[in-house]
Structure 1
């Protein structure tokens, strides 16, 4: 019994040490990006990334939300156009802040639930051989609790961005 208590105590101490180190060492600025090469020309890939409606056909995050509903403001392909999403445990808005045809879609995210926050997202297309390299990135500021969860965030982003870019690849290569 004493050994078990020592092990539990050591685990708690290690968790506390990790939390303190994470709060002090991890930057509040968070950047994550993932890329994929799609065997299609930029203009074909752009058809699937040029608007919020097109984005939502392959967006993995919306597929994870139970009872997901979306309301668009505007056609979804002009600066200032936006959509509002709502689900059981998630709510927020995404609006277009930058469009460079066949090259870049920039958006601003406003998370309402489960946590209030903002982030910037970009989808950038560049030629790569006979195909198109798509780079999807997100930038935001981490609060203290989010700093502690950064390794889990990186893992989740890797999974979700990978799934989304894979779905985009399937759509664009049809």
Structure 2
């Protein structure tokens, strides 16, 4: 009986520590990766400002080529939207809509995943380094507010998403440079 009481106390103390530490974790998470593509800023912008050819370089498409996609809104720019549904848990259900498009430097999308009403934001920033050389920075930002589980998730987001962004940027480079 004493063992169970001590076990309960240890579990309660650990739970309290996890909750308290969670409140000190950052509310905001940021992941960012960059690559230089041998193409004009215009050409890169046209590629990331539309979902028409997104799956030719998207790292998530490779995870489940059988996922169902639906497109709505304009073909490119603000309001262009892509929704997806997949049985693969790594792809899941969600949508992505272009919410900001500033030619030829920036494309920002709002992402919604599953039932979570809190969006994340993916941004492509394009910097012209030369007439046929563009630095592409792909970033993801999420605000977890007071969600302690989200804050723990955000703490590990770079290690979970960074490699996927690098893979996607390599595929984008290959697609554009062909």
Instruction: Kindly report the root-mean-square deviation, in angstroms, between the aligned alpha carbons of the 2 structures.
Output: 2.5
1:29 partnered with 2:31: no
SS at structure 2 position matched to 1:79: coil
Unpaired stretches in structure 1, ≥5 consecutive residues: 1-11
Aligned counterparts of 1:42 and 1:86: Cα–Cα separation in 2? 32
Instruction: Provide closer, same or farther for how the CA distance between residues 104 and 58 of structure 1 changes in structure 2, counting only shifts above 3 A.
Output: same
Unpaired stretches in structure 2, ≥5 consecutive residues: 1-10
Aligned counterparts of 2:96 and 2:137: Cα–Cα separation in 1? 18
Count of residue pairs the alignment pairs up: 161
Which residue matches 2:140? 138
Instruction: Provide closer, same or farther for how the CA distance between residues 34 and 67 of structure 1 changes in structure 2, counting only shifts above 3 A.
Output: same
Which residue matches 2:123? 122
Aligned-pair CA distance for 1:150:
3.5
Match for residue 158 of structure 2 among 137, 154, 159: 154
1:98 partnered with 2:100: yes
Aligned counterparts of 1:52 and 1:162: Cα–Cα separation in 2? 19
Divergent runs of 4+, >4 A? 15-18
TM-score normalised by length of structure 2: 0.78
Correspondence list, 1:48-67, <5 A: 48-65=47-64, 67=66
Instruction: Provide closer, same or farther for how the CA distance between residues 16 and 61 of structure 1 changes in structure 2, counting only shifts above 3 A.
Output: farther
TM-score normalised by length of structure 1: 0.79
